[in-house]
C-alpha cells in the first residue's frame, strides 16, 4: 500500500504563529499533505494530523504555542492516533534577523550620509521587507566582487544591492520578483566626441566593478575594463582622462549629477531594454520559504505605494514599475 492510500480520507489541520515566512511555509506544507491524499479539517478536533508552524521571534508566540500544545495534548488523550508535527521558519536560525549584504558605497542605492548612517534605496527596501517578515535586518557591507562569495558561503541571507537579473546569475541563484527597473548608461568626458554609442567602445578603456553587468557589457563591445570599487572612484578616473568611458545605472549617474552638477562628464547612450533589479538568494529548498515570503513582501510594498515612494525619494522618479 502506498503513502497516498494510507492517508486517503484522512484530514489535516495546520496552525501558524509567527512571521510571514511561516505563512508561506504553511501553504507549502498544506500542498504537500494534499498531494499525499490528506484533506483539510474544519476543526482541529476532527484532524488526524496537526501541524504547528511557529516562529519564536514574534512577541507572545511562545506563550501561544505552549497553550495550543496543551489543547492538542488533551485531544491526543481522546484520540491516541492523532499525529502532531512542529515546524519553524528560517528566522529562528538567525535569531530573528535577516542578514543583508550590500556595498554601502553606491549612492543612492546604499551609502553613508553626513552623519555616517547607512541609508539608500536598497537599505530602506530591505528594511521594509524585514518588517513585513517580522524580523530585524542586519547589514553587512562588502565590495561588489565579494558579495556573492559571501552569499555562497552562507554568511548572509540575501544580497540587496541593485543586482540585475541575468541568465548567467539565474543559473546559480534564485531571484525574487523585481523591485526596480533600470537602464545601463554610457558616460564619457564632456569633450569626448569620439564615443557616442556602445559600439564605439571597441579598443577603449573603461572602469567598473569586477564581475558586474557593466564590466561584462563593456567587454562584450571590445573594451578593456579596469577593476574599481566605487562609482565615485570611477568618475574620478573618467574626468581625469585616465579612462575613456564608464558604464553604470542611468539613475546612479543622474543622482551623481544632481549632487555634482558641474561634473565633467555626459551620458551618450543607454540600453534600450530595462534590466530587472531583484534580490538573489542561494538556490535550493532551504531558501524556498524565505524566497516566497520576500516575494509576498515586495508585492505588498508595491501595492501600498512604498516602493514608489522610496524610488522617488532616492532617484527622483519611480523605478519600481516597468515603463
- SS3 call for 16: strand
CA dihedral sign, ordered 194, 197, 203, 209 = positive
- What pLDDT sits at residue 43? 84
- What pLDDT sits at residue 1? 39
Q: Which helix (H) or strand (E) holds 235?
A: helix 231-239
Cell of 294: 520576500
Q: Write the CB contacts of 143 (distance below 8 Å, at least 6 apart in sequence).
A: 103, 209, 229
- What pLDDT sits at residue 27? 75
Contact 37, 5 (CB under 8 A): yes
- What pLDDT sits at residue 243? 96
- What pLDDT sits at residue 83? 72
Residue pLDDT tens, the chain, 323 long: 344 444 556 887 887 755 555 566 677 778 887 888 888 888 888 888 877 766 544 444 444 444 555 566 666 677 777 676 666 554 444 457 899 999 999 999 999 999 999 999 999 999 999 999 989 999 999 988 789 999 998 899 999 999 999 999 999 999 999 999 999 999 999 999 999 999 999 999 999 888 788 999 999 999 999 998 888 999 999 999 999 999 998 988 998 998 899 999 999 999 999 999 999 999 988 888 899 999 999 999 999 999 999 999 999 889 998 86
Whether the full predicted model's pTM is greater than 0.85, yes or no, is no
Q: What is the dihedral of CA 300, 302, 307, 311, to 10 degrees?
A: 170
- What pLDDT sits at residue 234? 94
**CA–CA gap between residue 7 and residue 38 (Å, rounded):** 6
Amino acid at each position: 500500500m502506498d503513502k497516498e492510500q494510507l492517508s486517503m480520507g484522512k484530514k489535516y489541520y495546520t496552525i501558524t504563529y509567527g512571521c510571514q515566512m511561516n505563512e508561506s511555509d504553511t501553504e507549502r506544507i498544506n500542498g504537500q499533505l494534499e498531494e499525499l491524499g490528506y484533506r483539510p479539517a474544519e476543526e482541529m478536533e476532527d484532524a488526524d494530523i496537526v501541524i504547528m508552524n511557529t516562529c519564536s521571534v514574534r512577541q507572545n508566540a511562545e506563550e501561544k504555542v505552549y497553550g495550543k500544545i496543551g489543547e492538542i495534548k488533551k485531544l491526543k488523550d481522546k484520540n491516541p492516533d492523532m499525529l502532531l508535527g512542529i515546524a519553524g521558519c528560517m528566522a529562528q536560525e538567525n535569531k530573528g534577523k535577516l542578514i543583508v549584504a550590500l556595498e554601502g558605497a553606491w549612492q543612492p542605492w546604499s551609502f553613508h550620509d553626513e552623519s555616517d548612517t547607512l541609508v539608500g534605496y536598497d537599505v530602506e527596501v530591505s528594511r521594509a521587507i524585514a518588517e513585513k517578515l517580522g524580523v530585524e535586518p542586519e547589514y553587512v557591507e562588502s565590495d561588489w566582487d565579494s558579495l556573492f562569495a559571501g552569499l555562497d558561503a552562507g554568511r548572509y541571507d540575501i544580497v540587496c544591492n541593485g543586482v540585475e537579473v541575468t541568465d548567467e546569475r539565474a543559473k546559480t541563484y534564485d531571484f525574487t520578483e523585481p523591485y526596480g527597473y533600470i537602464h545601463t548608461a554610457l558616460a564619457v568626458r564632456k569633450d569626448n566626441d569620439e564615443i557616442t554609442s556602445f559600439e564605439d567602445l571597441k579598443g577603449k578603456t573603461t572602469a567598473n566593478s569586477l564581475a558586474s553587468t557593466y564590466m561584462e557589457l563593456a567587454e562584450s563591445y571590445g573594451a578593456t575594463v579596469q577593476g574599481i570599487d566605487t562609482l565615485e572612484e570611477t568618475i574620478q578616473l573618467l574626468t581625469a582622462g585616465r579612462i575613456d568611458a564608464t558604464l553604470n545605472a542611468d539613475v546612479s549617474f543622474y543622482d551623481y549629477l544632481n549632487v555634482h552638477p558641474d561634473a565633467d562628464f555626459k551620458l551618450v547612450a543607454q540600453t534600450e531594454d530595462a534590466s530587472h533589479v531583484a534580490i538573489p538568494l542561494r538556490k535550493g529548498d532551504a531558501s524556498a520559504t524565505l524566497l516566497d515570503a520576500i516575494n509576498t513582501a515586495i508585492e505588498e510594498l508595491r501595492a501600498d505605494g512604498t516602493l514608489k515612494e522610496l524610488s522617488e525619494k532616492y532617484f527622483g522618479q519611480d523605478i519600481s514599475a516597468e515603463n
